[in-house]
Amino acid sequence: MSKTLIRGAKVLGGEPQDVLIDGETIEAVGTGLTDEGVEVVEADGKVLLPGLVDLHTHLREPGREDSETVLTGTRAAARGGYTAVFAMANTFPVADTAGVVEQVWRLGREHGYCDVQPIGAVTVGLEGRKLAELGAMHESAAGVTVFSDDGKCVDDAVIMRRALEYVKAFGGVIAQHAQEPRLTEGAQMNEGVVSSELGLRGWPAVAEESIIARDVLLAEHVGSRVHICHLSTAGSVEIVRWAKSRGIDVTAEVTPHHLLLTDELVRSYNPVYKVNPPLRTERDVMALREALADGTIDIVATDHAPHPHEDKDCEWAAAAMGMVGLETALSVVQQTMVDTGLLDWAGVADRMSFTPARIGRAGGHGRPVSAGEPANLTLVDTAYRGQVDPAGFASRSRNTPYEGRELPGRVTHTWLRGTATLVDGKLA
């Protein structure tokens, strides 16, 4: 395999350095590295990050290939600077057996754009009644360590307790979609001032917060770790902060859209803003940013949720929930966290690569940019400004809430184990 020299890149936003890739590995990091006989990529002051890791992606395959496949989803991931994504279990059939998770894992390997690490279902069919074969999924080729019924909450306290306990045997983690089902029956949007005016069934913050409170206490009681998916309210932040201060082993994620958008957008009744958990208020957005900055929230995860056009081109109540996010995540984080001074690029590397890889035990990902490490890298033109044009997406779906919005930053290159998957913004 040939060598590649990335010249003059601000590694994690620091001083410009050269990074030499040899085969699958970073050979050297320094200044004035020789460019003889190597392919040179002029970084020209762009920021070099470890390849991003998304702990929360919906790739839809198997079952809903009309909205996304492992191929289109991983191509979207590469465009967004990701080298590993965790694929959620709510496929058809549900990823609740070793067979399904191995299939998804293998497809990711074959396409080669981005590693796909399947997430296994906690309960059979996501029905919340009977534990899925968590151990078998872990022992499969896919090596599942993260389990989630995402889209549905493991609301039965006993099932949740058993799951938290059971996965301790092999270092697994339960990623909880915190949504008390009775409090959110038929819910359409955040419950508050806007929902009261729009006449849309409210989705109270307490439906999320009460489950998080219960689960951190359960995790403490049984001595397990627990991960909270797409935390969306200021109250949830307070509970996680309290739990961490007690030493409870809890981690939490926030989506890019919850860092930027508020429920005021729902006034348009445009279902592109319909998402689970719902967009909240300005106050929540500010609390989430602060929590991501101070580490209360550990990571950014996209909750990339592709839907076909017809599922959004309809009235609000009939529309599907979710937004695509892989190809805009880093730009949103730059706008909300970096450009606001809340986080530096080293912080971004932590929240979008190091820590998600650690939570998900994604070997070879989320490693430092230094000699001897796997060459999973992302080069970002942070000076770029441009409008989001969904027509250019690699994802099969276009349900982005950012269409026409100006966002900063653009991923120009992505390397997966030394192989460029994205070159000058174009998929390899």
Partner 1 sequence: MQRHLISAADLTRDDAVLILDTAEEMARVADRPIKKLPTLRGRTVVNLFFEDSTRTRISFEAAEKRLSADVINFTAKGSSVSKGESLKDTAQTLEAMGVDAVVIRHGASGAPYRLATSGWIDAAVINAGDGTHQHPTQALLDAFTMRRRLVGRDTGLGRDLAGKRITIVGDVLHSRVARSNVELLHTLGADVTLVAPPTLLPVGVPSWPCEISYDLDSTLPKSDAVMMLRVQRERMNAAFFPTEREYARRYGLDADRMAKMPEHAIVMHPGPMVRGMEITAEVADSPRCTAVEQVSNGVSIRMAVLYLLLGGAAFDAKAAPEAANGLVDTHPRTEEK
Which tokens is 345 given? Answer: 């690029």
Catalytic one among 115, 149, 284, 303? Answer: 303
Candidate segments 5-13, 69-77, 200-208, 407-415, binder of partner 1 by CB under 8 A? 200-208
Binding to partner 1 in span 201-240, by CB under 8 A: 201-202, 204
Distance CA 47, CA 292 (A): 20
What are the Cα distances from residue 17, in Å, to 1, 278, 283?
23, 42, 40
Helix (H) or strand (E) holding 57: strand 52-57
Q: Are strands 426-427 and 419-423 parallel, antiparallel or unpaired?
A: antiparallel
CB closer to partner 1 out of 270 and 419: 270
Report helix, strand or coil for 120.
Answer: strand
Q: Tell me which stretch binds partner 1 (CB under 8 A): 186-194, 285-293, 329-337, 372-380.
A: 186-194
* 303 belongs to the catalytic site: yes
Q: Is 197 in the site for partner 1 (CB under 8 A)?
A: yes
In the bound state with partner 1, the residue whose beta carbon lies nearer, of 151 and 204, is: 204
CB of 210 to partner 1, least distance (A): 16
Closest CB to partner 1 among 4 and 233?
Answer: 233
Minimal distance, residue 314 CB to partner 1, in Å: 5
Contact between 191 and partner 1 per CB under 8 A: yes
Between 285 and 377, CB nearer to partner 1: 285
| Closest alpha carbon to 382 in 4, 9, 82, 62 | 9
User: In 3-state terms, what secondary structure has residue 274?
Assistant: coil
User: Which residue positions form the known binding site?
Assistant: 56, 58-60, 90, 150, 177, 230, 276, 303, 307
Which residues are part of a known binding site for Zn(2+)? 56, 58, 150, 177, 230, 303
Give how far the C-alpha of residue 382 lies from the chain's centroid of Cα atoms, to the nearest Å: 20
**In terms of CB distance, is 39 or 313 closer to partner 1?**
313
Q: Which residues are annotated as a binding site for substrate?
A: 58-60, 90, 276, 307
| Interface stretch with partner 1, choices 52-60, 149-157, 194-202, 249-257 (CB under 8 A) | 194-202
The answer to whether the beta carbons of residues 346 and 13 sit under 8 Å apart is yes
Closest contact distance (angstroms) between CB of 290 and partner 1 is: 25
Candidate list 23, 66, 143, 269; residue touching partner 1; CB under 8 A: 269
By the 8 A CB rule, do 195 and 222 touch? Answer: no
Min separation Cβ 186 and partner 1, Å: 11
Residues 293-332 that bind partner 1 (CB under 8 A): 310, 313-318
Which of 37, 199, 247, 404 is the binder for partner 1 (CB under 8 A)? 199
> Per CB under 8 A, which region of 2-10, 236-244, 267-275, 397-405 contacts partner 1?
267-275
State yes or no: residue 265 binds partner 1 (CB under 8 A): no
Q: Considering the rule CB under 8 A, would residue 192 count as an interface residue with partner 1? A: yes
CA angle 167, 349, 86 (to 5 degrees): 35
Nearest partner of 339 among 283, 235, 409, 286, judged by Cα: 409
* Residue 193 engages partner 1 in binding (rule: CB under 8 A): yes
Nearer Cβ to partner 1 (72/184): 184
Under 8 Å between Cβ of 12 and 369: yes
Residues 159-178 that bind partner 1 (CB under 8 A): none
Phi, psi of 213 (to 5 degrees): -60, -45
Contacts of 63 (CB under 8 A, 6+ apart): 91, 92, 93
Using CB under 8 A as the binding criterion, the count of chain residues that bind partner 1 stands at 24
101 alpha carbon, distance to own chain's centre: 18
In 296-376, DSSP assigns E strands to 299-300
The HSE-up count of residue 291 (CA atoms within 13 Å, CB side) is 32
DSSP class of residue 276 equals S
200 binds partner 1 (CB under 8 A): yes
Q: At what angle do helices 205-222 and 234-245 cross, to 10 degrees?
A: 10
For partner 1, the closer CB: 154 or 234: 234
Q: Which two tokens mark 326?
A: 């892989």
Shortest CB 307 distance to partner 1, Å: 14
In sequence order, the β-bridge partners of residue 175 are 227
Residue window 90-129: x/- pattern of binding to partner 1, with contact defined by CB under 8 A: ----------------------------------------
98 vs 189, which CB is nearer to partner 1?
Answer: 189
CA within 13 Å, CB half, 268? 10
Calpha distance 14→21 (Å, rounded):
19
- Applying CB under 8 A, the residues found at the interface with partner 1 are 188, 191-202, 204, 268-270, 310, 313-318
As annotated, the active-site residues are: 303
